[in-house]
Structure 1
Amino acid sequence: MAKTQNSHPASAASPEAHRSIIEGRSDDPFAVLGPHGSGTDRTVTAFDPGAASLAAVARGTSHPLEPVEGAEGLFRGPVPDGDYTLRGTGPGGETWDVEDPYRFGPVMGEMDEYLLGEGTHQRIWQVLGAHVLEHEGTRGTHFAVWAPSARRVSVVGEFNAWDGRRAQMRRRGSTGVWEIFLPGIGEGAAYKYEIVGAEGQLQPLKADPVGFGSEHPPQTSSIVRDITGYGWHDQDWMDSREGRNGRSAPISIYEAHLGSWKRIAEEGKRPLSYKEAAEQFVDYVHDMGFTHIELMPVSEHPFDGSWGYQPVGLFAPTIRHGPPHEFRDLVDAAHRKGIGMILDWVPGHFPSDKHGLERFDGTALYEHADPREGFHQDWNTLIYNYGRIEVCNFLVSNALYWLEEYHVDGLRVDAVASMLYRDYSRAEGEWVPNKDGGRENYEAIAMLQKMNTMTYGETEGVMTVAEESTSYPGVSAPVHTGGLGFGYKWNMGWMNDTLSYMAKDPLYRKHHHHQMTFGLHYAFSENFILPISHDEVVHGKGSMLTKMPGSEAEKLANLRAYYGFMWGHPGKKLLFMGSEFAQPTEWNHSSQLDWETASKPQHEGIRRLVRDLNTLYRAEPSLHARDCEEDGFQWIEANDADNSTFAWVRRNFDASPEVVVVSNFTPVERPEYRVGLPAAGKWREAMNTDAGVYGGSNRGNMGGVTAKPGDWQGQPASATMVLPPLSTVILVREG
């Protein structure tokens, strides 16, 4: 017996129903096409506009189908119960055999349908998108897409001559979801959705919002990718990562744009593949001592110049570096080296490319209809309608997707401030107040809270990070206390203040001393990451090296001192690629880093410094265990503006030795600088940014200092030390 039969209302055989098929405007093609009835009353109706004749082949016997009068390409006839295939014959006598997609029943289950309709399906990618599977004994691909206002949705591709009449989909009740199983379609097939909108207008062909793969830009089709069956080798990491991502862990992040880290000159300067990066890139990060990688967005995006921040395929790792399993190879390799993987995630906006989400079903489906709510003036992009439950669910499910399917350890959420405020970058009258007349975007706030609740609740040991540039309270506070629920927040204020200070001639730094100390007034109000990100080395801002004043040698010394200050300061660390070796030019996404300069002695010295700072940061709990807690920090000297010096102690309140950090931001050596210390005895000089191996002048303290009892600078002991010009010295108590 046939596994499924389609309903066959009387109207299904009407001329109007036939015309709706051949004109591509049917919202219920299964009522006309496929098998209907049973036994001797069973008939099959099929559509093949390229066929001169068509037959159904069942049990080895051919059953000719008769052309339907007045409906070119439509054929109908009796076929016995059981499976069958369609055999077409062309005008020239050529033949082909195909499976009839309309003989297959639905794939989606009732519970999936219910949860999708309710907007509470936590893992929509398991239902929507294109899934290679076996259905009713036949291998093929199941397609499902949300388009609630559409009159008709079809899957189109080379496999059906991009003809939207050939694979018209089944509407699933009131969910707004359309689905169809296409037998014989598998891995690598290019496809799009052809949609007729509510007013009968044919939309531009659309890529799959939940597609797992895409064509190489500038081509825009989705690609069927089977994302099942990957063999992970990172269980040791997965079992231990909760301790590696927490507030007491050493977290030092290497931020990178994979497309411009390194390129293969012999092959047209192409970027590394995921598999190549799994070796070269991961090995480099491991050698540099970073604990985590943060990749700028890898979700598929049409425009290279957006750096990934204008994504179209939120569920597709960009094909620029390889298919999904090869992206998993990169994550797996990082984990096997003990390195966490964080992805930039962009729920703040999306581009208006015609093949994307813009007016997906002919209506403002994912975005707001009102441009005062739905259009980003800064980026000429569209804004998600966070208040629509299905859109909120789409985004939250996407966050979970990367964490579960790709073992990603964290998500850094871009441009959170633009989401939190309705008047972000808008003049009076260009924005719509919330229901209480205020500027807060309640719906975006609720979406972020739901995302954090979901990700932390469903995936053990992950982190979320907010790039949030305002003083919005409780960004990293738990949701149940009214916070947004992020694990960490970028400390944009610290970054802006300290870089502003470092850009000044040392002669004038004493007048801006507070810029280096002000951050400690709020350093523990959130779980902060100190970010020196890509945003600081683009758009005419210069590189980290060129931000520093003075001669070339002074620039390098300033940068070394600043990195020492940063690694000794409370807060987790983030450094953008190229900054670790003081690249002299600002970042260019279309070419690789300046590796030739990186090999020069002075620049290799900076790289060695960063490596050693990472090593020291990981090795000394006092430098990381209380990064986010006020009692782990104490000023020793915060007011020596005349000498532009700073000193503080880091501690962990266990057997870990205290660590003291002393910075001198003038080009003047202080050969007998007296500094207060928390205890008498020997203090090891664990770091001196003026050391010769880093390119400095090798002035220092011969390995350490000895502190003697006696109150000084609020401490019970003190020592006289050599404080080199433009340097940071880090002392660790021995014993």
Structure 2
Amino acid sequence: MFVLPNRDVINQIIAGHYADPFSLLGMHVTESGLQICALLPDAGTVWLVDSKTSKRLVQLNCDDSRGFFSAIVPRRKNLFRYQLDVSWRDHQQILEDPYRFGTLLQEIDSWLLAEGTHLRPYERLGAHPGVLDNVEGVSFAVWAPNAQRVSVVGEFNFWDGRRHPMRLRRENGIWELFLPGVKAGQLYKYEIIDCYGNIQLKADPYAFEAQMRPDTASLITPLPEVVKNTPERQRANDFDRPISIYEVHLGSWRRHTDNNFWLSYQELAEQLIPYVKEMGFTHIELLPINEHPFDGSWGYQPLGLYAPTRRFGTPAEFKAFVAAAHEAGINVILDWVPGHFPSDAHGLANFDGTALYEYADPREGFHQDWNTLIYNYGRHEVRNYLAGNAFYWLERFGIDGLRVDAVASMIYRDYSRAEGEWVPNYYGGKENLEAISFLRYTNQTLGKEWPGAVTLAEESTDYPGVTLPPEANGLGFHYKWNLGWMHDTLDYMKCDPVHRKYHHNLMTFGMLYAYTENFVLPISHDEVVHGKCSVLDRMPGDAWQKFANLRAYYGFMWAHPGKKLLFMGSEFAQGREWNFDSSLDWHLLEGADGWHHGVQRLVRDLNHCYQNQAPLYERDYQPGGFEWLVVDDHDNSVFAFARYDSQGNELIAISNFTPVPRHHYRIGVSRHGEYQEILNTDSHHYHGSNSGNQGRVIAEPINSHGREHSISVMVPPLATVYLLREV
């Protein structure tokens, strides 16, 4: 039975403090007949209209001058479809009443969302344009279980939280409302009266589009259509395929020369994609493109996790960029940040007055290094929010892989914390068991639901089994960045060549653990900022030696087991550190052919050689794919190893990390035959000294290094050469 509202109830709903608007507003059956109530501030007269006949039935009484109207519908006992004919000061309008529509979330959705196992939470939460009961509008849903009241506000209702309070689904803490007449492209937020009675304006955590800083509203945008997964893209991510990744920050790869402004997604598709293709990279990895408030975070402090940043265009234009990469045969990897989020007031922090998305205890929930908040991975709805986001990028934008940022900060409770500044887990240990469970669940779910997609872990510790499946007690990643190899080899290359013999093991140590994980060898953005110098400037010596060292190092890297990653600018030896706020130094490639052109050509040729020679990639993660030939020549700083494919084809890589040419250097080999010199980083083509082996060497029956056959080679100064055994 419906009870006519008293003055206190009317005051509460007009003040925006009535928590159950559907119990009052809309049409209800009472003993006196059908009761209709509406809240329409600033309205003059309001008539009830029969939607079927378009006839006015009754004029609603203005029970309060602040805009509360009600009436009894005579001679009607059953609920029916109706509209409201509203006269405003300067116009008249036929409105659908949001409070005549039933619940939106289905029972199965409520169950899965509360359980944290909904594969596509983004299909139910957020703002979704559509048709309900033959009426066009937008369905809104947001999780805020501890809020006293939540309203949808936007440019369609004067940002007035009184006008459209939402229905609370008490079984799961989700607030929902269908707003007729609201359209895609309009701005909105949620006005929340939190558990303490404070009013907060929050952006939608599930918004598919958002305003760019400094504005903070969400935009109503249709959910992108599903992108078809293809066997070609799936195959390109396999362990036995060549994977060479070009890591890119879209805001600083290239800019307009006249105003230093960003290129758009469309311009990037027209310029970046062909460049990556020409350079022979197989994959692009994008630094985070989620909407974020602070440019200086490079995207690593995202707030709009479901919204591609508007800095470069619309979500549709970003999707077209990904499609352009696929058309060129290039897979796309996104940097993904499920480890933390900024504390901006419009974001997730204290969303309903409580620590809803983050841990409440700052010893668990606050990142001291980054002044950000840590997700509460033990909460089902938070796990669902994050895991669903991972699948969203794969399914709706066609992303081929996710590089997960700062995994160590997620899985260790004592990460970057002193004694007493962290909370042990249930068993007294330092591992974050909830985060580990979340990563396993996400990796397992993606692997099952989107075949061929991969996840890559930036994990800086020796946590065991990062790339083992969860059923084998692993984290379930496909690949792991080999940060140890990166640090060791760069430390070696920084040494003056005369001192390298004392640090020889830095170049060989990586092979002792090379098969414990599926490794990617990364020269990433983190290595060219914050005073670390560019990769070129880490090299010792004069200009000639710097470039020669760099070329030799790249040759060593591309032959070493493990997939490859190179940050933009390093492919043409940019001299200064990376600056997120300006373009790369493309002027270094202008004018006469020089050292920078040489490095760029080398990286291009390394990539194409890498793709064309199966021994360099096919058995990356199998011990039978690698063999040291010269591992202990400390005095000469020479390294030589062989790579093998599944057919037994052999490629030998020889590196000399001193400026002294090594003439008639003998290396033991496993088989007789001729070896063709297919790449030499000292070639004049790369602006080297052009020393080499005149195209080929022949194995002789001379014992060396414990083998019955050997080759005598000329190893150029500060250079790496590749010799391919001819079959």
Structure 1 residue 228 displacement after superposition: 3.8
Partner of 1:210: 206
Structure 1 residue 716 displacement after superposition: 3.5
Amino acid in the other structure paired with 1:147: A
Amino acid in the other structure paired with 2:667: V
Partner of 2:634: 641
- Secondary structure (helix, strand or coil) at the match of 2:633 reads coil
Deviations 1:17-76 (A, max 9, x none): 322210111221111111223999333211111213322333333455434434621111
TM-score, normalization by structure 1 = 0.95
Establish whether residue 227 from structure 1 lines up as the match of residue 195 from structure 2.
no
Structure 1 residue 127 displacement after superposition: 0.3
Q: Distance in 2 between matches of 1:186 and 1:514?
A: 64
Structure 1 residue 104 displacement after superposition: 1.9
Amino acid in the other structure paired with 1:613: L
Establish whether residue 140 from structure 1 lines up as the match of residue 137 from structure 2.
yes
In 2, are the aligned partners of 1:674 and 1:720 still within 8 Å (CA)?
yes
Amino acid in the other structure paired with 2:632: N
Establish whether residue 624 from structure 1 lines up as the match of residue 620 from structure 2.
no
Where does 1:249-648 land on structure 2 (aligned, <5 Å)? 249-266=241-258, 268-599=259-590, 600-648=593-641
Amino acid in the other structure paired with 1:486: F
Task: Out of 19-28 and 375-384, give the one that drifted further.
Answer: 19-28
Aligned residues: 719
Task: Out of 96-105 and 337-346, give the one that drifted further.
Answer: 96-105
Deviations 1:349-387 (A, max 9, x none): 000000000000110000011000000000000000111
TM-score, normalization by structure 2 = 0.96
Q: CA, structure 1 residues 164+721, in 2 after alignment: closer, same or farther (shift >3 Å)?
A: same
Amino acid in the other structure paired with 2:415: Y
In 1, are the aligned partners of 2:167 and 2:175 still within 8 Å (CA)?
yes
Q: Give % identity.
A: 54
Deviations 1:526-554 (A, max 9, x none): 00000000000011111111111111111
Partner of 1:74: 68
In 2, are the aligned partners of 1:637 and 1:646 still within 8 Å (CA)?
yes
Establish whether residue 722 from structure 1 lines up as the match of residue 714 from structure 2.
yes
Specify which of 83, 86, 103 is matched with residue 85 of structure 1: 83
In 2, are the aligned partners of 1:12 and 1:31 still within 8 Å (CA)?
no
Q: Distance in 1 between matches of 2:394 and 2:707?
A: 46
Q: Distance in 2 between matches of 1:140 and 1:125?
A: 18
Where does 1:74-153 land on structure 2 (aligned, <5 Å)? 74-78=68-72, 82-90=80-88, 92-153=89-150
The unaligned stretches of length 5 or more in structure 2 are none
Q: Distance in 1 between matches of 2:492 and 2:3?
A: 78
Amino acid in the other structure paired with 2:681: T
In 2, are the aligned partners of 1:580 and 1:606 still within 8 Å (CA)?
yes
Structure 1 residue 89 displacement after superposition: 2.7
Task: Out of 66-75 and 630-639, give the one that drifted further.
Answer: 66-75
Deviations 1:188-211 (A, max 9, x none): 1111111111222222x1011111
Deviations 1:446-498 (A, max 9, x none): 11111111110110111100000000000001110100010000000000000
Specify which of 228, 233, 239 is matched with residue 247 of structure 1: 239
In 2, are the aligned partners of 1:301 and 1:310 still within 8 Å (CA)?
yes
Q: Distance in 1 between matches of 2:569 and 2:433?
A: 39
- Secondary structure (helix, strand or coil) at the match of 2:190 reads strand
Structure 1 residue 85 displacement after superposition: 3.1
In 1, are the aligned partners of 2:225 and 2:396 still within 8 Å (CA)?
no
Deviations 1:131-179 (A, max 9, x none): 1111110111111111111111111111111101111111113201111
Structure 1 residue 611 displacement after superposition: 0.8
Deviations 1:376-419 (A, max 9, x none): 00000000011111111211111111111111110000000111
Task: Out of 709-718 and 119-128, give the one that drifted further.
Answer: 709-718
In 2, are the aligned partners of 1:56 and 1:63 still within 8 Å (CA)?
yes
Structure 1 residue 82 displacement after superposition: 4.3
Q: Distance in 1 between matches of 2:720 and 2:224?
A: 50
In 2, are the aligned partners of 1:129 and 1:208 still within 8 Å (CA)?
yes
Establish whether residue 37 from structure 1 lines up as the match of residue 40 from structure 2.
no
Amino acid in the other structure paired with 1:555: K
The unaligned stretches of length 5 or more in structure 1 are 1-8
Amino acid in the other structure paired with 2:606: L
Deviations 1:192-239 (A, max 9, x none): 111111222222x10111110001211110111113447x5xx6x712
Q: Distance in 1 between matches of 2:464 and 2:575?
A: 37
Q: Distance in 2 between matches of 1:11 and 1:624?
A: 75
Establish whether residue 192 from structure 1 lines up as the match of residue 226 from structure 2.
no
Q: Distance in 2 between matches of 1:228 and 1:82?
A: 35
In 2, are the aligned partners of 1:107 and 1:135 still within 8 Å (CA)?
no
Q: CA, structure 1 residues 84+10, in 2 after alignment: closer, same or farther (shift >3 Å)?
A: closer
In 2, are the aligned partners of 1:666 and 1:726 still within 8 Å (CA)?
yes
Q: Distance in 2 between matches of 1:329 and 1:495?
A: 34
Structure 1 residue 523 displacement after superposition: 0.9
Amino acid in the other structure paired with 1:122: L
In 2, are the aligned partners of 1:570 and 1:628 still within 8 Å (CA)?
yes
Q: Distance in 1 between matches of 2:192 and 2:446?
A: 33
Q: CA, structure 1 residues 699+673, in 2 after alignment: closer, same or farther (shift >3 Å)?
A: same
In 1, are the aligned partners of 2:3 and 2:30 still within 8 Å (CA)?
no
Q: Distance in 1 between matches of 2:490 and 2:674?
A: 34
Q: Distance in 1 between matches of 2:274 and 2:90?
A: 60
Q: Distance in 2 between matches of 1:277 and 1:86?
A: 49
Partner of 2:178: 181
Establish whether residue 687 from structure 1 lines up as the match of residue 679 from structure 2.
yes
Q: CA, structure 1 residues 343+228, in 2 after alignment: closer, same or farther (shift >3 Å)?
A: closer
In 2, are the aligned partners of 1:636 and 1:715 still within 8 Å (CA)?
no
Q: Distance in 2 between matches of 1:228 and 1:420?
A: 32
Amino acid in the other structure paired with 2:466: V
Structure 1 residue 673 displacement after superposition: 1.3
Task: Out of 557-566 and 60-69, give the one that drifted further.
Answer: 60-69
- Secondary structure (helix, strand or coil) at the match of 1:676 reads strand
Structure 1 residue 94 displacement after superposition: 3.6
Q: Distance in 1 between matches of 2:298 and 2:42?
A: 44
Structure 1 residue 613 displacement after superposition: 0.5
Q: Distance in 2 between matches of 1:15 and 1:38?
A: 19
